[in-house]
Structures are given as structure tokens and as C-alpha cells.
Amino acid sequence: MYVGELMKRRKLSMKEKLSYGMGDFASNLVYQGISIFILFYWTDYAGISAAVAGTILLISRIFDGVIDVVFGNLVDKTKSKYGKARPYLLWLALPFAFSAMITFWTPGTNGIADIIFAFVSYNVTMVIYTAINIPYGVLSVKMTDDQVERGSLGVFRGIGALIGSMLVAIIAPMLIEVVGYTWTFLIIGLVAAASLLVTFKGTEEHVGLTQEDKVTPFKEGFVALLKNKPWLIMLLVGILVFTFSGLKMTSNIYMAKYYFGDESLVGILNVMMMPGMLIGMGVATLLFRRFGKIKTTVFGNLIMFLATVAFYFIFQSPDDLVLFYGFLVLNGAFLGIGTAGFFAMIADTIEYGEWKTKKRIEGLTYSAASVGTKIGGGVGAALVGWLLALVHYNGTLATQPEAVSSMIVWINLWIPGMICLIVAIVLSFNKVDKLYPQIMQDLDARKGVKEV
């Protein structure tokens, strides 16, 4: 009898879903905290120029993308008493906490030593994040092969990420004011470590537990990925979506200080996206069931593009702060739907690839898709640094050139709006939602003839 067949369409308990969501809560406490504050910390506290800081971020994300593929291949080869994905959450929880702290420390030389230390410490943290996040993504595939349940896991993952992002955006500025950046991120890191252990303890791997589980060599797996059209589409979508996220989160801190003239608003600006994201993720499962993940996400991005165009002509001055709050909530709603859909759609490309090539490559599929998210986040943050440098921004100056304010608004509105339009166009070419029932029927037929 085929063992995997016993687990087909496996339904998950609320405990499993909540435990799984805690993993992205943990990751986003650290990852979003770094994404929000690191460029500002480097430019305004470590004395690193905006152009150099932006370049560090982009080079680091490209390097991290290569590391993604390495760890994806490693996960595919992993066999332990805890499974394929879960052990990494146990092994790397504490190293993640301490690396987060070191990222927000500087030698204070105001020279090349600060730049080198910033590059090295940031990359150590990102490598550990990758070594946690790739297996964490694979874990959803190992927990169930039910498409609706995976969509639900995507929502719980998104809600966990949202709460983690919200907490760090609210609490970090207050902690930083009291204990500084270094101790703040040690505290955040330790909370993240504890949360990862909850995910490890509260989840189990069920799918693919057969004696014929075969490890696909890296070269064969990579060739199979290139034949997986839906995965290639999602790779590009990942780059675009996380460029959007990186732009918004990074530029909000500059909007607060230099456009609205109140640095204390940074926590509020980032938090204003969170209620919208919570609403978006809350209705995502219902929309996915009714319209499908792809169609829902395509129309959501089209609506967001049109809303951005309209808002640009309404938003006239720093006095329109309340109006800007409302726009951020709207941004968050559609970002919430898109984020939940993205991770669920990546999971579905694994079955498509297996159906098309007869090779099931979970770790490499997730890791290579993660390359897109890392590059996107890096491009988003780097664009902020480069475009600010273009208008002669200098974080050590009390007064910035007039062009800085206009550029910050342009970065925060127009570029993200155009990204939404491009995402809608690209994603419309992904047909997996329509094919998925036939894919699973064919895969069941193949596996049904195997015996253990």
C-alpha cells in the first residue's frame, strides 16, 4: 500500500495551523525589523552614505539568493528523526537571536571598518534567516497536499508575519529610545527564537513519507525547475511583490522624518498597513475558495494600481496625513491578499513540477522562489538608497535638499503602483488553479500503483 495515499487531502487541526503561523511571526520580528530600520541605522547612526548602504543591501540580497539555492538543495537531502524541514527550526533558533543583535552594532570608526562590519553582520543574519525560512516553507508542503488547506496555511503564515511585523514596527521604536538598537534586537531575537520552537513542537511532517522517497540530484532538479512555467512566473512575481514591500517599509521611515517632519510617526506609518493586511488575509481564504488564488490576486493588483493613480492626484501636502493613513490601510489589504496567495501558489507549483517532470523537488522549488523574494526586498531597499542619493540626500545633515521630499513621495507612491500593474499582467499567465484538480488526479493515479 502507498503510505502517502493514507494522507491524501489531509485536514489540519487549528493547533497545527497556529503553530505553523508562529514560524513566520518569528521570522518577521527579525526580518521586518531589519528591513524597516537597517538602512536608517546605517545612514543616520553608523554614518554610512545612502548610496553605499543601498549597494550593500542589493549585493547582500543577491548573495543571499545563491545561499537560498544551496539550502534548498540541502533540505531536499535532509533525513532526520524530526523529518526533512522541522529540525532546522530547532537547530537555528538561538543563533538567529544573537545574529540579529550583532547586526545593529557598529565599531564606530566612521570609516571602512563600519562598512565591512555592516556587510558581514547583515549577511550572517540573512544566511541564518534563509536556513530557517527555506525549510519553513517546505514544511507546509510536508504537512498536507490539500490545496485548500495549503491556502489556509498561507493565510496563517501571513497573519503570523503580519503580527510579527506589526509588533516590531510598534515596539521597536519605543525600545530603541530606551535601550538602543543593539539591546532592542537581542530582545526581539529571543522572542523570535522561542516562537520558532513553538512551530517545531506543534507541527508534523506527513506528506511524502514513503520508502521510495528519492533525492533528485541538484542538476536534474534545476533543469526540472526551468521546465516549470508556473514556477518561473511565481519567481518573477516574488521579485515584484517583495520589491513593493521593501519600497513601502523602507521609504515610510523617510516619509515620517523628511516629508511629514516627525520621526516618531515611523511606527504609526508602518503599523497603518497592518490592519489592512489583517483584513486582506482574513478574507483571502474566502476569496480563494470562490474565485481561485490567481484570479483574486490579479484583480487585487489591478485595483491597487488604479487606487494609486487616483491617490497621487489627491495627495497634495504633508497636511494630508489622515488621507495617507487611509491609503496605507488600503495598501495593506491588497498586500495581505497577495502575500497569502503567493506562498500558497508556490506550494502548488511543486505538484505541477512533479506532474510535468516526474520529479518532486520541494526544497529547491521553495529556495529558488525565495531567491525572488530576497532579490525583491533588496531591490526595494536599494532603490530607496540610490534614488535618495540621486537627489543628494545626506543622513548627517539637519536640513535636506528640497528635491528629497518630492523623491520620497515618488518612491512611496508611483513605483509601488507600477509594480502592482506588472504583477497583475505577469500572474495572469499562471494557469495552475484551473489545472490543479487534473494534476492531483494524475499524480494519485501514478502513486496508487506503488507499494511499500
Residues sharing a CB contact under 8 Å with residue 69, sequence separation 6 or more, in sequence order: 364, 367, 368, 371
Q: Among residues 314, 175, 240, 57, which one has the least CA distance to residue 248?
A: 240
CA dist., res. 198 & res. 78, Å (int): 21
Question: Phi first, then psi: what are they for 180, rounded to 5°?
Answer: 90, 170
Q: What pLDDT score was predicted for residue 306?
A: 92
**Are 292 and 437 contacting, i.e. CB atoms less than 8 angstroms apart?**
no
CA dist., res. 412 & res. 249, Å (int): 9
Residues sharing a CB contact under 8 Å with residue 248, sequence separation 6 or more, in sequence order: 273, 331, 335, 380, 412, 416
In which residue are the cell numbers 513540477 written? 353
In which residue are the cell numbers 530576497 written? 374
Q: What pLDDT score was predicted for residue 116?
A: 93
Q: At what angle do helices 321-357 and 147-202 cross, to 10 degrees?
A: 100
Q: What pLDDT score was predicted for residue 11?
A: 76
CA dist., res. 431 & res. 438, Å (int): 12
Residues sharing a CB contact under 8 Å with residue 404, sequence separation 6 or more, in sequence order: 258, 388, 391, 392, 393
**Are 364 and 73 contacting, i.e. CB atoms less than 8 angstroms apart?**
yes
Question: Which H/E stretch holds residue 419?
Answer: helix 402-427
Q: What pLDDT score was predicted for residue 23?
A: 94
Q: What pLDDT score was predicted for residue 270?
A: 73
Q: What pLDDT score was predicted for residue 403?
A: 86
Residues sharing a CB contact under 8 Å with residue 148, sequence separation 6 or more, in sequence order: 288, 289
Secondary structure (3-state) at 11: coil
- For the chain (length 452 residues), average pLDDT per consecutive 10? 41 88 94 87 86 86 80 81 89 95 86 91 93 89 78 83 85 91 95 96 75 65 87 90 83 84 80 82 82 89 90 84 90 82 82 86 74 78 85 77 84 90 94 85 72 38
CA dist., res. 305 & res. 290, Å (int): 23
Cα distances (angstroms) measured from residue 428 to each of 272, 372, 418: 29, 18, 16
Q: Among residues 363, 248, 257, which one has the least CA distance to residue 304?
A: 248
Q: At what angle do helices 362-390 and 402-427 cross, to 10 degrees?
A: 150
Domain boundaries, the chain: 16-202+215-448
In which residue are the cell numbers 515618488 written? 410
DSSP 297-363: HHHHHHHHHHHHHHHHHH--STT-HHHHHHHHHHHHHHHHHHHHHHHHHHHHHHHHHHHHHS---HH
CATH top-level class of 16-202+215-448: mainly alpha
Question: Which H/E stretch holds residue 55?
Answer: helix 50-77
**For the chain, how many helices (H) and strands (E)?**
14, 0
CA dist., res. 96 & res. 197, Å (int): 12
1 burial type by CB count under 10 A (0-12 exposed, 13-18 middle, 19+ buried): exposed
